[in-house]
Chain A
Amino acid sequence: GQQVMQIPQYQHVQEGEDFTTYCNSSTTLSNIQWYKQRPGGHPVFLIQLVKSGEVKKQKRLTFQFGEAKKNSSLHITATQTTDVGTYFCAGMEYGNKLVFGAGTILRVKS
C-alpha cells in the first residue's frame, strides 16, 4: 500500500534559523496536504498542493510539490518560537484515503 515517508524526524533550531521538512510518497499522489500539530493538540490544516511543481507561500512558509507528484517540502524562513510543533505531510492517492507521514518535530531555541 501507499507509504509516506517524512524526514527529518526531529529538528532543533535556533530562533531565526531556517527549517525544512521533506516528504516522499511511494506512489503518485493526487494532492498533498500539510498539517501542524501543537503539543497536546490536534492537526491543523495548513495547505493543499494539487498541481505538479506547484509552489505556495504563506508568510514565512513555502510549500513545494514535486514534478512527479511524489514528493513535497515545507520550508520555514527565520523560525519563531510560535513555529514549534509537529509538521505532518499527508498524501491523497486517487481516492479518499489520506496517508500521513510520521511527522517532523520542530523545536525552536530562543
Chain B
Amino acid sequence: ETGVTQSPTHLIKTRGQQVTLRCSSQSGHNTVSWYQQALGQGPQFIFQYYREEENGRGNFPPRFSGLQFPNYSSELNVNALELDDSALYLCASSLSGGAQETQYFGPGTRLLVL
C-alpha cells in the first residue's frame, strides 16, 4: 500500500449538489495531485497542490476547486454536480511535485451522480 488514504470510498449525489472529497498524503509528501477517471478511460489531471498553493491545473471548470492544509492533506470540492461528474476520483501524493517525482495513488473515491 502507498500510505495515501481517501474518503469516502463511495458516494452517491444528485445533480446540482455539492461534494467534498478528502485525501491524506503519504508521510513526508508535501504535494497532492487530483485526477478524475471516467469509466474505461485513463486518469485526467484536475489540479495539483504544493505547500498549500495550487501548482498547476488541467482542463476542468472552476466548479472544481481544492484546498491543501498545513499537514498537506487535501480536499477536492465539486459544485453544481453534473451527471458526467460520475467517476473515480484519485489523489496522488509526491515528495515535492517535481517533474520526475513518482506519484503514489490512493484507492480513490467512486462518485455517482444521479
A residues in contact (CB < 8 Å) with B? 1, 4, 6, 30-31, 33, 35, 41-45, 48, 50, 88, 90, 92-103
Contacts and interface: CB of A to CB of B under 8 A. Distances in A.
Interface residues of B, number: 26
Interface of B: 33, 35, 40-45, 48, 55-56, 58-59, 88, 90, 97-100, 102-108
User: Which residue among A90, A94, A96 has the maximum number of chain B CB atoms within 10 Å of its CB?
Assistant: A96
Contacts of A50: 100
A98 B90 contact: no
Interface of B is mostly: loop
B44 A100 contact: yes
B85 to A, nearest CB: 18
User: Which residue among B33, B40, B42, B106 has the maximum number of chain A CB atoms within 10 Å of its CB?
Assistant: B42
Contacts of B88: 42
B59 A43 contact: no
B90 A43 contact: yes
A30 B107 contact: no
A11 to B, nearest CB: 15
Contact of A96 (B44, B99, B102): B99
